[in-house]
Protein backbone atom coordinates (compact mmCIF):
# COMPACT_ATOMS: atom_id res chain seq x y z
CA UNK A 1 0.00 0.00 0.00
CA UNK A 2 1.47 3.36 -1.01
CA UNK A 3 0.94 6.61 0.83
CA UNK A 4 1.33 9.92 -0.95
CA UNK A 5 0.78 13.51 0.05
CA UNK A 6 -1.13 15.98 -2.20
CA UNK A 7 2.05 16.68 -4.19
CA UNK A 8 2.48 12.98 -4.93
CA UNK A 9 5.45 12.60 -2.59
CA UNK A 10 5.93 9.68 -0.27
CA UNK A 11 4.22 10.61 3.02
CA UNK A 12 6.36 8.92 5.64
CA UNK A 13 4.48 10.53 8.52
CA UNK A 14 1.44 8.41 7.66
CA UNK A 15 3.44 5.24 8.25
CA UNK A 16 5.41 6.21 11.33
CA UNK A 17 3.89 6.00 14.78
CA UNK A 18 4.96 6.43 18.37
CA UNK A 19 5.55 2.69 18.81
CA UNK A 20 8.98 3.32 17.29
CA UNK A 21 10.07 5.40 20.30
CA UNK A 22 10.61 2.62 22.88
CA UNK A 23 12.49 0.57 20.28
CA UNK A 24 14.81 3.48 19.53
CA UNK A 25 15.57 4.03 23.22
CA UNK A 26 16.21 0.38 24.05
CA UNK A 27 15.87 -1.94 21.05
CA UNK A 28 14.29 -5.27 21.97
CA UNK A 29 14.08 -4.45 25.67
CA UNK A 30 10.99 -5.20 27.67
CA UNK A 31 9.41 -2.13 29.20
CA UNK A 32 8.52 -4.05 32.35
CA UNK A 33 11.14 -6.54 33.42
CA UNK A 34 10.48 -9.20 36.02
CA UNK A 35 12.46 -8.72 39.21
CA UNK A 36 11.89 -12.33 40.23
CA UNK A 37 10.40 -11.37 43.58
CA UNK A 38 8.24 -14.51 43.57
CA UNK A 39 11.44 -16.55 43.83
CA UNK A 40 12.48 -14.66 46.98
CA UNK A 41 9.08 -14.88 48.61
CA UNK A 42 9.14 -13.46 52.14
CA UNK A 43 6.25 -15.75 53.09
CA UNK A 44 8.37 -18.87 52.70
CA UNK A 45 9.92 -19.66 56.09
CA UNK A 46 13.06 -21.26 54.71
CA UNK A 47 13.47 -18.72 51.91
CA UNK A 48 12.81 -21.34 49.24
CA UNK A 49 9.62 -20.76 47.30
CA UNK A 50 7.71 -23.87 46.22
CA UNK A 51 8.12 -24.96 42.59
CA UNK A 52 4.57 -23.87 41.73
CA UNK A 53 5.48 -20.30 42.72
CA UNK A 54 8.65 -20.19 40.65
CA UNK A 55 7.58 -21.82 37.40
CA UNK A 56 6.18 -19.89 34.48
CA UNK A 57 5.37 -16.20 34.45
CA UNK A 58 4.45 -14.66 37.79
CA UNK A 59 1.01 -13.10 38.25
CA UNK A 60 2.26 -9.53 38.54
CA UNK A 61 4.65 -9.96 35.62
CA UNK A 62 1.78 -11.33 33.48
CA UNK A 63 -0.25 -8.20 34.20
CA UNK A 64 2.72 -5.98 33.35
CA UNK A 65 3.31 -7.85 30.07
CA UNK A 66 -0.36 -7.36 29.16
CA UNK A 67 -0.01 -3.64 29.99
CA UNK A 68 3.08 -3.44 27.78
CA UNK A 69 1.23 -5.07 24.87
CA UNK A 70 -1.69 -2.67 25.32
CA UNK A 71 0.64 0.34 25.45
CA UNK A 72 2.55 -0.74 22.33
CA UNK A 73 -0.75 -1.35 20.50
CA UNK A 74 -1.97 2.13 21.46
CA UNK A 75 1.30 3.76 20.39
CA UNK A 76 1.10 1.93 17.07
CA UNK A 77 -2.51 3.03 16.46
CA UNK A 78 -1.77 6.74 16.04
CA UNK A 79 0.24 7.99 13.05
CA UNK A 80 3.06 10.33 13.99
CA UNK A 81 1.67 12.97 11.65
CA UNK A 82 -1.58 13.13 13.67
CA UNK A 83 0.39 13.52 16.89
CA UNK A 84 2.48 16.30 15.32
CA UNK A 85 -0.67 18.18 14.29
CA UNK A 86 -2.04 17.95 17.83
CA UNK A 87 1.24 19.16 19.31
CA UNK A 88 1.55 22.00 16.80
CA UNK A 89 -1.90 23.29 17.79
CA UNK A 90 -0.79 23.50 21.45
CA UNK A 91 2.55 25.26 20.97
CA UNK A 92 3.00 28.98 20.40
CA UNK A 93 4.65 30.26 17.22
CA UNK A 94 7.83 31.00 19.17
CA UNK A 95 7.75 27.54 20.67
CA UNK A 96 7.36 25.92 17.27
CA UNK A 97 10.47 27.73 16.04
CA UNK A 98 12.40 26.67 19.15
CA UNK A 99 11.73 22.95 18.74
CA UNK A 100 14.26 22.26 15.93
CA UNK A 101 16.90 24.26 17.84
CA UNK A 102 16.21 22.24 21.00
CA UNK A 103 16.60 18.93 19.13
CA UNK A 104 19.76 20.16 17.38
CA UNK A 105 21.29 21.22 20.70
CA UNK A 106 20.39 17.89 22.34
CA UNK A 107 21.78 15.96 19.37
CA UNK A 108 25.06 17.88 19.44
CA UNK A 109 25.38 17.52 23.21
CA UNK A 110 24.86 13.76 22.99
CA UNK A 111 27.39 13.40 20.18
CA UNK A 112 29.92 15.48 22.15
CA UNK A 113 29.27 13.46 25.30
CA UNK A 114 29.54 10.15 23.44
CA UNK A 115 32.76 11.21 21.73
CA UNK A 116 34.39 12.39 24.96
CA UNK A 117 33.42 9.19 26.79
CA UNK A 118 34.67 6.97 23.99
CA UNK A 119 31.15 5.79 23.15
CA UNK A 120 29.72 5.40 19.72
CA UNK A 121 27.61 8.35 18.61
User: What does the pLDDT read at residue 15?
Assistant: 62
Q: What is the pLDDT of residue 85?
A: 79
Q: Are 15 and 79 in contact (CB under 8 A)?
A: yes
Whether residue 36 lies inside any domain: the answer is: no
3-state SS assignment for residue 89: helix
- Answer for the pair 64, 101: CB distance below 8 angstroms, yes or no: no
Q: In this structure, is residue 117 part of a structural domain?
A: yes
Residue-number span of the structural domain to which 117 is assigned:
93-121
List per-residue pLDDT tens for the chain, 121 residues long: 344 455 555 555 566 777 777 777 777 777 777 777 767 777 776 767 777 777 778 788 889 889 988 988 888 888 877 887 787 788 877 777 787 888 889 888 888 887 777 655 4
pTM above 0.85, yes or no: no
Count of domains in the chain? 1
Structural domain contains residue 116: yes
> Does residue 112 lie in a domain region?
yes
Judge whether 114 lies within some domain.
yes
Are 31 and 69 in contact by the 8 Å Cβ rule? The answer is no
pLDDT reported for residue 27:
75
pLDDT number for residue 118: 66
> pLDDT value at position 22?
73
The answer as to whether 39 is a domain residue is no
3-state secondary structure of 17: strand
Long-range pairs, 16-20, Cβ under 8 A, ≥24: 16/79, 16/80, 16/81, 17/75, 17/76, 17/77, 17/78, 17/79, 17/80, 18/75, 18/76, 18/78, 18/80, 18/83, 19/72, 19/75, 19/76, 20/80
- Determine, yes or no, domain membership for 108: yes
pLDDT at 86: 81
Q: Is residue 23 part of a domain?
A: no
CA–CA dist 121, 110 (Å, integer): 7
Amino acid sequence: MAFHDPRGEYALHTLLNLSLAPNQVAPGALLFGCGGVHVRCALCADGAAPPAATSGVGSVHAVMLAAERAMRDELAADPLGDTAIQLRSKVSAGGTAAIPRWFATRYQARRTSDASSGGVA
